Amino acid sequence: MNISVLNNRFSTQQRCISHLEKLRWGKRKFVCPHCGSLNSTKRDNSIKHHCNGCNKDYSVLFGTIFENTRLSLTKWFQIIFIMSQSKMGVSAKEVSRLVGVKYQTAWYACHRVRCAMIDNELRLEGMVEFDEAYIGGKKRKLKKSDANKAVLSTITNKRGRGTSKVPIVGSVEKKGRVYVKIIEKLTGRNLLLMLKKIVKTDESIVFTDEFKSYKSFDNVVEHITINHSEGYGKGVRTVNTIEGFWSILKNGIKGNYRSLSKKYLPFYLVEFSFKYNNRFLESDPFTTILSNAVKEDKCFIYYKPKCDTKHIVYGSGRCKQ
């Protein structure tokens, strides 16, 4: 699909609604999201349906990323298409210019689209690599007037472990799928919990570097350690796959965004992971995102996340409504 086909196929609000109804309910009758009844009546001159079981109104947008939006679905579809085709990410400012909406609207819509990219059922298997990375900008240069000040934090410009950057951990199948998560403390316990949740340990071999926190893997899964002081491995005994993903992630962030907040970083990690995991699929990522978008799983309530973004992305606990 290209932009011309998109604009012809979804040129009106009603065409978009009909397509979403087909994705959500298929050939079945309309299903009431309130009570599950199949006995509904279509409202005249409206996108809403009236349930004859619980006597409530609903539409195909109920409970989806499109709920409570004033933005037309034609523009929503354009934003989804732009994001699905931008392999290295796209800023909300650029989406604002391309679609013709305000920056705040574009920013808000982009985060809702990222919610449709979340995959909480992902389980990795086979030969799996683990590695950590750190997200954050370079240290700013001192002003001339501050050059003689004894500020200890500016004496060194350390990279990697021990910095104030945000630590993230990635797990990837060799030539397969990736999963990325923010872990504030890179302890053996936290890494082991991630391993058990994401990897099928009985069917996998895990490759890591010599970081001491990975030693907790030894009692759970077949674990191979690559000592980087002796080289970067040979054959399949490497962590080069996850290193390649870190390159895609960091170059994408550096090339498209002026700055990212730690609060919304999980959403950006979801976007890059989704695009990486769907790079070999024959299906159009635009269609995949739309199919996920009509699933009843609200991530936002009006203009704010329904809870902490980490809970939304990683499912680590119940959200407080």
The band of 281, judged by pLDDT with boundaries at 50, 70 and 90, is: confident
**pLDDT exceeds cutoff 80 at 215:** yes
- pLDDT for residue 295: 83
Q: What is the pLDDT of residue 140?
A: 59
Provide the pLDDT confidence category of residue 116 given band limits of 50, 70 and 90: very high
Q: What is the average pLDDT across 153-160? A: 50
Q: According to the model, what pLDDT value does residue 160 have?
A: 65
- pLDDT value for 162: 64
pLDDT of 154? 40
- pLDDT value of position 155: 39
Task: Render pLDDT for 66-98 as a digit per residue (tens, 0 to 9).
Answer: 988 889 999 999 999 999 999 899 999 999 999
Say what the pLDDT of residue 153 is: 38
Residue 71 CA to residue 252 CA, distance in Å, equals 27
Tell the CATH topology of 124-138+150-261: Nucleotidyltransferase; domain 5 (3.30.420)
State the average pLDDT over residues 106-128.
94
149 has pLDDT over 90: no
pLDDT for 317 equals 47
Which segments of the chain belong to CATH 3.30.420.10? 124-138+150-261
Assess whether pLDDT exceeds 60 at residue 16: yes
What would the mean pLDDT of 216-243 be, rounded to a whole number?
A: 86
Least confidently predicted of 83-87, 219-223, 317-321? 317-321
Q: What local confidence, expressed as pLDDT, does residue 321 receive?
A: 46
Give me the pLDDT at residue 299, please: 83
pLDDT at 46: 87
Query: What mean pLDDT is predicted for residues 233-244?
Result: 87
Mean pLDDT value across residues 312-321? 66
